[in-house]
Amino acid sequence: MKITGAKAWIFFDSFDAEKVISYSGTPVSTEAGKWYFILETGTGSSFPYKGSVLKAPTTGTQISLVAGDQIFPIDENRFCKTSASLSAEEGTIDVGDDCDPGASILDGMVQISGSLAGFFRLDDTTQDFSAVTSDILGRFFTTVDDDGAGVYKVTERNNGPAYLLINLNSNAKVGQISHWLFIPAIISSMSTSFDNTAAQNKDISFTKGEGEAVHYKVPKAA
């Protein structure tokens, strides 16, 4: 079978040091079905690796943290896309000589980049921006919240790591394998247009940042 790009759903979150979970003597466990970025693992940790993403068990026993474990819970804020692209490329090294002209070998360095396009989305009642729209603007602009009564909150722009979760087959049924691409990304550019006869849009470009990009396979839960 083949499926369309519309079945690929994209979720977006940003790193926030205040949300990091670690063991501090009080028992703490993962939350069922929640995505986590594994920052650090301690001695005897039940996390199988660090530097990438893991989904907590949907059923059964959760993972209990031990001293040295540090995890970041990823919120699944959906990026409602009009289009998206992703490119993965491994570099090559010229090793040609007169015995083997034109030969090349791979350099082992995989570069991942891409783009996402969508619209500015606002809450119907408050007219405030959606979490994703606010996050992306906040990477390039300092935000000033004015309550109209003399209270001002200034949030400096934050261009820290972004976490992209791409569900390639959102149409999978319960029990079938759900395919995800996880990319720790840096957002390098944003563009928009304000044409009178078009919707306000946001187009961003990203490249892989620190951490490992993975193809994650897990049975779809109810």
Measure the CA dihedral 119/131/53/55, to 10°.
-110
Strands (E), 67-219: 70-74, 77-79, 81-94, 104-119, 143-146, 152-155, 162-167, 177-191, 201-208, 214-219
pLDDT of residue 222: 77
pLDDT of residue 117: 96
Domain ranges of the chain: 5-14+75-219
Encode pLDDT of 27-55 as tens digits: 899 999 999 999 999 999 999 999 999 99
- pLDDT over 70 percentage in the chain: 100
Burial class (CB in 10 A: 0-12, 13-18, 19+), 216: middle
Q: Does pLDDT of 208 surpass 80?
A: yes
In this prediction, residue 162 has a pLDDT band, given cuts at 50, 70 and 90, of very high
Cα–Cα distance for residue pair 194/124, rounded to 1 Å: 20
Report whether 10 contacts 165 (CB < 8 A). Answer: yes
Look up the pTM and report it: 0.90
Considering only CA atoms, which of 64, 60, 62, 55 is closest in space to residue 37? 55
DSSP state of 137: H
Cα–Cα distance for residue pair 145/167, rounded to 1 Å: 34
Q: Which CATH class, in words, describes the domain spanning 5-14+75-219?
A: mainly beta
Cα–Cα distance for residue pair 93/103, rounded to 1 Å: 9
DSSP state of 5: G
In this prediction, residue 25 has a pLDDT band, given cuts at 50, 70 and 90, of confident
pLDDT of residue 1: 85
